[in-house]
Amino acid sequence: MSTPERKCLLELEGISKWFPRKRTVKDAVQHAERQYVKAVSDVSLQIYEGENLGLVGESGCGKSTLARTIMRLYDPTAGQIILDGRDITRLKGNALRQERIKMQMVFQDPYSSLNPRMTVYEMLEEPLKVYHFVPKDEIPQEVDRLLRISGLSPEIANRFPGEFSGGQRQRLGIARALALRPRFIIADEPVSALDVSIQAQILNLLADLQEELNLTVLFISHDLQVVRHISDRVIVMYLGAIVESGKTEDVFDRPHHPYTDVLMKAAPSLDVDARTKEYAIEGDPPSPISIPSGCKFHPRCTRCQERCRTEQPALTTLPDGRQIACHFPLNTDSP
Ligand SMILES: Nc1ncnc2c1ncn2[C@@H]1O[C@H](COP(=O)(O)OP(=O)(O)OP(=O)(O)O)[C@@H](O)[C@H]1O
Ligand code: SF4
Ligand SMILES: [Mg+2]
């Protein structure tokens, strides 16, 4: 699937999200500068209509913070968010609510986002009522439709979320996310809490819904094999920034960034037993409070040279559309 000729649905321009750390008494006495957790720094990307864009990287690299910033659940520290041609970076109140309808999230733990005291019916009718999305007398049919497209029987409408298995709860989370007919879904680790056998069913459901409803999906996962299976393009993040992006098969088959390379090599293989193991890379990522100078990856990179310690590599776009932030990339002659 080629992306450049497709319509851009979401564009991020230089998005940063830094969380200020609380000042201690010692900081005040020493007049120390305020410190920040630099969860996301200067991220620019485009997501094209109908595509599935994978977002991968180690725990703590800023994937969920980026997702929440796109949803405007966090205010960005810097940068611009353009949704369907409209700048939503500073929208507030009703104007923001109206734009947010176009985007919905599917979470790792759907139970935390489902009200345990509401029946399935009440849970699905709520957004339809709040947004006057369909005429009142059509709500029952709409709830039926949402359950059916999510692979659930309309007969469960009077039951409570606590009565369901993990896979069924995730289907409910998906039904709820689809209630307002969004164009863009952010799925943040949607299958990582599920048994492997159930994971495939939910992934297939997401892929089918994406096709049928022409959804655009940002698919966040630390499971590279899942991303390989479902995503058209992939973005690799390290310590709050994009280090590589490109078509999924290109990035997986010929990684250019040394971090992507070790991430792929350390990822479990497709065999089921291995898939439960976490990947392991030498050392831990540095703290997002004190980010290394030069290339952020240099303390852990086996290809590190003097230049890497002082000069931050810019994210460069190659002629084939691949993006890479490395002074000495792999599998290519030019950075
Ligand atoms: N509300 C917050 N306040 C302060 N720091 C935060 C906040 N949310 C996230 N962080 C920090 O920002 C960094 C990025 O966190 P984030 O949850 O975005 O990572 P992630 O890539 O989603 O990780 P995981 O794969 O474990 O879900 C981490 O160091 C985290 O501790
Ligand atoms: S810039 Fe240098 S340290 Fe950073 S990833 Fe490339 S080779 Fe490694
Ligand atoms: Mg996360």
Is 153 in a helix, a strand, or coil? Answer: coil
Number of neighbours of residue 22 by Cβ within 10 angstroms: 7
Residue 58 scores a pLDDT above 80: yes
Where residue 333 falls among pLDDT bands split at 50, 70, 90? low
For range 279-297, the mean pLDDT: 85
pLDDT digits 0-9 by tens, 185-240: 999 999 999 998 999 999 999 999 999 999 999 999 988 989 999 999 999 999 99
Nearest to 162 by CA among 197, 212, 111: 111
* Cβ of 328 below 6 Å from ligand 2: yes
Q: Starting from the CA of residue 55, give the closest ligand.
A: 1
% of the chain at pLDDT higher than 90: 79
Where residue 276 falls among pLDDT bands split at 50, 70, 90? very low
Where residue 136 falls among pLDDT bands split at 50, 70, 90? very high
For range 263-271, the mean pLDDT: 69
Among protein residues, the one whose CA lies closest to atom 16 of ligand 1: 62
Task: Give me the chain's average pLDDT, please.
Answer: 91
Residue 273 scores a pLDDT above 60: no
Could you please report the per-residue DSSP string of 258-313? HHHHHHHHHS--SSHHHHTSPP--SSPPPPTTSPPSSSTTGGG-TT--HHHHH-PP
pTM: 0.93
Among protein residues, the one whose CA lies closest to atom 24 of ligand 1: 59
Residue 160 scores a pLDDT above 50: yes
pLDDT digits 0-9 by tens, 42-53: 999 999 999 999
Where residue 268 falls among pLDDT bands split at 50, 70, 90? low
* Cβ of 303 below 6 Å from ligand 2: yes
pLDDT at 54: 98
pLDDT digits 0-9 by tens, 109-123: 877 778 889 999 999
Tell me, in angstroms, the distance from the centre of ligand 1 to residue 332's CA.
32
Among protein residues, the one whose CA lies closest to atom 3 of ligand 1: 19
Higher-scoring residue by pLDDT: 268, 91: 91
pLDDT at 47: 98
Residue type, 141: Q
Where residue 1 falls among pLDDT bands split at 50, 70, 90? very low
Question: What residue has token string 């896979």?
Answer: 167
pLDDT at 2: 47
pLDDT at 278: 43
**Antiparallel, parallel or unpaired: β 103-106 and 184-188:** parallel
As for ligand 1, residues whose beta carbon falls within 6 Å of it are 19, 37, 39, 57, 59-65, 222, 288
